[in-house]
Structure formats: C-alpha cells, structure tokens
Amino acid sequence: MKIILVEVSKVALELKKPFVTALRRVTHVNDIYVKITTDTGLIGYGEAAPTTAITGDSEGSILYAIENVIAPSIMDMSLESYELILQKIQKCMKKNTSAKAAVDIAIYDLVAKKHGVPLYKFLGGAKSKIETDLTISLNSVEQMVADSVEAVSLGYKMLKIKVGNEYQKDILRIVEIQKAVGMDVLLRIDANQGWSLKEGTFILEELKKYPLNIELIEQPLVAEDITGMAKLCERTIYPILADEAIFTPLDVIEVIQKGAADLINIKLMKCGGIYPALQICAIAESYGVECFMGCMLESHVSVTAAAHLAAAKSIITRYDLDGPGLLKSQPLAGGATFNEQEIILNETPGLGF
C-alpha cells in the first residue's frame, strides 16, 4: 500500500465565544486539513493549527511545508514500513511541527485503518473514554466568574482558568471563581508565561490563604526560563505543568532533570505529531512523571487524534481537549464524540472519519 496523493485544504471555523489568553485574542479558527490517499483507495486525515504566538507556524508556512517539502519526501512510500514514513516526516525539515503533526496524524489514521482497529487500540488502548476540562478565557473577574458558572452548569468538573496579565487581579480571579463554583470543581491555572518569578512566588504564596481546589499551575514563567521554573517548583506545593517549555522529547529530559516541572503538557502541534509524542510519553514514564494531553485551538480531526493518543497511554492522566467544544460547527463527519466534558472514542478503524 503506497501513498499516491497528499491534499491540503483550508477550513475557517467560528468560535462560540472569543478565546482570550495572556498571549492572544481569537474569534475564528483557521486550520489546515490534510487528506492522504493510497493506491488501494484508503484515505487518512490530519489537521494543523497555525498558532504563531506559540509554535511560530502560520497558515502560509504550514501550507508551504506540507506541499513543497513533506509531501514530496513521503510520496510513493509504503505503509508496510510506516516507521520510515514517520521518521521521514520528522527529518525532512527543521521545526514546522504543526505541518509535521498534520501529516503524521494522517499516516497513523491510515495505519490503524489498514489494521482495522481504532487508533487508540492500535496505540495501547488503556482507556476508552476520557474527561476534559473547559477553558475559561482571560477576561474581567465578573466575566470569568459568569463563564465558569455556566461551564459547571453544562457538566464540567474541571476548569482551565487563563490568567497571567495582571498578577494581583489573577489572585482575585482564582478566588472569586472558586467561591462561585464551589470546592468540588477542580481548577487548573494557566498563566501562559505571564508571570515573573517574583510575581509567581507571591501569587502562589498568597493563594495558600484561601480555600481552593487547585490541581496544578501551568507554564507560570516564560518558556525559556527553566531555572526560574525550577525555583518556583521548589517554592510551592502546587504541581507545576510545563507547556510552552516543552516542544521536543529532548526538552522533556532537560525540564525533568532540572526539576523545572512536575507534569508535562503534550500537544501534537508543538512536538510534531504522534510519533514524537510517544517518545515524550516513554521519557516521562521512565522518570515517573505523568503527562497532560492538551490542544491548541484545533477542530475535530487533530483533537480526535490527541484523544486517541491520550486514551491509549496510561502515563497520560489529564486531558484538556476542549477545542471542538469551543467551535460552532464540525466540517468533517465522524471522529471521537465530544459530549461537553466527556470524550468517547469511536470503535471505527483509525480516527473514524
């Protein structure tokens, strides 16, 4: 079975409400879908999300990378030796992790379809359903409290609270949200690199004064400040989750060895797809560090792939896969079922599209 065609298309999807973090404000998701056809007629799907603020990958750079570099380098390759295809995707060019992820996802979709099993079972099958949190955008305290109350009324038991622009107001945001939703709701605090070491130290110390159900603190400091992250880890009881600090499997080794995080956030768009994500899982597992499966503003195709990986592996214990839940529509039928907080993996082969 050989690859004979790689097609890319642009999709524009409207968000239910604007998505705001310490880094950006977005109203639409403009993603790129990949469709790979084999000589037997089997089709695999993938998706890339241009997130210039985090990965540096733009719509134009993703289209160029896939059409002019990645697709030509894997054309005519055989799915019988899919390891070679997956390695070629990673090695045919530097960086461009979102473009690589889209093609990598489509290859895994094809391989699992060829074996007649859903991808999560092909990769390990540890779980068949997972529970996601919902992201609460960075807004005024009142707006964030209202959004949190609404999310809990929809059934969410975990909320990802975006903070990181005004550190003193961040304390108020967290305290007021917890007060409004009650202590049964778990809060994941994501500063998106928005605090300095001094601010982070002050906030985490201050939070101890309030009754709070905080599970973790995500990427408090700038991605490059591994030393600062290690200091903050020493100073706080809260588990620190590394997100923007982790792209490659080698980043995981550095962050863990330097004591700069307690948990690792895997996103397919940062690491370049499922193949490197499995390497991250293996490294983290060998250190006894649990992983978190996240996503960018992505739609059903790549988030279904992330859900299959997350369900497959035991070391991935926490999930933030709310991308499809934030969108008004789904352009391609099939995939995992996103029923608010509950994500159910489909039993159709591959990703199920």
Size of the site for Mg ion (CB under 5 A): 3
Nearest position to Mg ion, beta carbon: 243
**Chain centroid offset of residue 71 CA:** 24
Closest CA to 122 of 350, 352, 353: 350
How far is Cα 243 from Cα 179, in angstroms, rounded to an integer? Answer: 27
Instruction: State the binding string over 148-187 for Mg ion (x if CB under 5 A, else -).
Output: ----------------------------------------
**Alpha-carbon distance 171 to 163, whole Å?**
9
Q: Any contact of residue 298 with Mg ion (CB under 5 A)?
A: no
- Minimal CA–CA distance to 278: which of 306, 244, 319? 306
**C-alpha span between 125 and 310 (Å, rounded):** 9
Q: Cβ 269 to Mg ion, closest distance in Å?
A: 12
Select from 119-127, 128-136, 238-246, 282-290 the region that touches Mg ion (CB under 5 A). Answer: 238-246
Residue closer to Mg ion by CB (options 47, 218) is 218
Residue 122 or residue 247: which is nearer to Mg ion going by CB?
247
Q: Which residues does the annotation mark as catalytic?
A: 162, 267
The H or E element containing residue 6 is strand 3-20
Q: Is 31 helix (H, G, I), strand (E, B) or coil?
A: strand
Of 106 and 191, the one with the shorter C-beta distance to Mg ion is: 191
Q: Which stretch binds Mg ion (CB under 5 A): 25-33, 237-245, 306-314, 338-346?
A: 237-245
User: SS3 helix, strand, coil % of the chain, rounded to 5?
Assistant: 40, 25, 35
Helix 82-91 × helix 274-287 angle, to 10°: 90
Provide the edge-to-edge strand list for the sheet that holds 3-20. Answer: 3-20, 25-38, 43-48
Smallest distance from Mg ion to CB 216, Å = 11
In the complex, minimum distance from the CB of residue 43 to Mg ion, in angstroms, rounded to a whole number: 32
- Does 190 interact with Mg ion (rule: CB under 5 A)? yes
User: Taking a C-beta distance cutoff of 8 angstroms, is the pair 224, 258 a contact?
Assistant: no
Cβ proximity to Mg ion, 47 vs 190, nearer residue: 190
Minimum distance from residue 283 beta carbon to Mg ion (Å) = 20
Beta bridge partners of 263: 241
Nearer of residues 190 and 199 to Mg ion, judged by Cβ: 190
243 binds Mg ion (CB under 5 A): yes
What is the closest distance, in whole angstroms, from the C-beta atom of residue 219 to Mg ion in the complex? Answer: 5
CA-CA distance, 300 to 320, in Å (whole number)? 14
What is the nearest approach in angstroms of Mg ion to the Cβ of residue 218? 5
Amino acid at 39: D
How far is residue 137's CA from residue 281's CA, in Å, rounded to a whole number? 28
**Residue closer to Mg ion (CB basis): 242 or 281:** 242
Looking at residue 313, its amino acid is: K
* Helices and strands of the chain, counted as H and E runs: 13, 14
What is the closest distance, in whole angstroms, from the C-beta atom of residue 265 to Mg ion in the complex?
6
Residue closer to Mg ion, measured from CB, 147 or 243 = 243
Which residues between 192 and 231 bind Mg ion (CB under 5 A)? 218
Which residues make Cβ contacts (< 8 Å) with residue 125, sequence separation at least 6? 311, 312
Which residues make up the interface to Mg ion (CB under 5 A)?
190, 218, 243
